[in-house]
Amino acid sequence: MTQCKFNGGKDISGCAIIGFINEDGTRCDGSDILSGISAMRERSNGLGGGFMAYGIYPDYKDFYAFHIMFENPKIAEDVEKFLEEYFFVELSEKIPHNHVDEISSHPLLQRYFVKPKKSFHEPVLGHKFEDVTDDEYVARAVFKINLEYDGAFVFSSGKDCGCFKGVGYPEEIGEFYKLKQYKAYCWMAHGRFPTNSQAWWGGAHPFSLLNISVVHNGEISSYGINKRYLENFGYKMTAGTDTEVIAYLFDLFTRKQKLDLKTTSDILAPPFWDEIEHMNPEKRDYYGKLRAIYGSALCNGPFGIVVGFDGGMVGLNDRIKLRPLVAARAKNRLYLGSEECAIREANNFDAINKIWYPRGGEMVIGRVKKD
């Protein structure tokens, strides 16, 4: 998709991230996440805002929800023909949105609830006689659309979840997408864009593939080697930003390689070699092997990230905590964010049971508790 520039030159600011998960599985509308991200407006710059919500499509929970932005109706027609060829399309509709004075223009925004036509095999979606999973089939379709259909960009593709993002302050983007009309058990939000690239609707955070999504404060200086590593596994970088690799690394390790979240976090933000040398033999062996095997997946540079997935949310800092990350618990809710004030605002200043600042490389995880 053409990366159209908005709002003039680059404006550096601090990046705002916040997320929360109701671990009892209750769903709430977008009011709390909007309150939290609005408290960090000075960290944003009006060039990007976005949200991720899990549990918002209960009536279509068995379908993949494609959110796609188009530059014009013609490319939308072409992509819809592709979807009809490779998927059963249960519903096609515009993504509901309001008129917001601060948002002067936007792409065509459509969503499609689909299931793969697994009996059909084609060299890009599934080699002949190759038995790909539904998730892999969908991921390949996302890469094909984003690479081959100029003017189209799939920015959300998971089940029972959705990404909503664009150019503007996050409060404006939230109003634009009518987020108070959705109910989710997990909400994530981001304010600010870009660091090293132009502002366009697809380049705002979150970045997602299937049910993995990421909001990120910082800069991944290892982007080049991370990108080359991911390309070995069939991933295609199409968003033009460093945060994209984090989403794909989580997808690679948790979905394709079926590693647990602790191992995945240890790969992305492991201890330094001089720390490993002073560990007991068991830990030294563990981290030494991880760094030797997955060295090209290590994420360097300052970062604080919140990652969403089906039924859970995880937070992680870079190894020396160059970006802030605050965690808190209130009743059945886990919060992660850039600032304590945002968490308290999202919590409506109710009692917080615990608040802490995770160490560099320390994973914080929340999950919906199953009966």
For residue 28, indicate whether it is catalytic: no
Nearest to 142 by CA among 66, 214, 202: 66
> What DSSP string runs through 220-231?
-TTHHHHHHHHH
What is the bridge-based pairing of β-strands 303-309 and 212-218? Answer: antiparallel
Marked catalytic residue, from 4, 15, 161, 299: 15
Place of tokens 């605050």: 326
**Cα–Cα distance measured from residue 133 to residue 113, given in angstroms and rounded to the nearest whole number:** 18
**Within the chain, where are the H helices?**
31-38, 73-86, 134-148, 170-176, 223-231, 243-251, 261-268, 273-276, 281-293, 340-346
Task: Give whole-number Cα distances, 351 to 21, 31, 60, 105, 289, in Å.
Answer: 16, 18, 35, 41, 43
**Cα–Cα distance measured from residue 208 to residue 163, given in angstroms and rounded to the nearest whole number:** 8
**Cα–Cα distance measured from residue 264 to residue 246, given in angstroms and rounded to the nearest whole number:** 11
Active-site residues, by number, are: 15
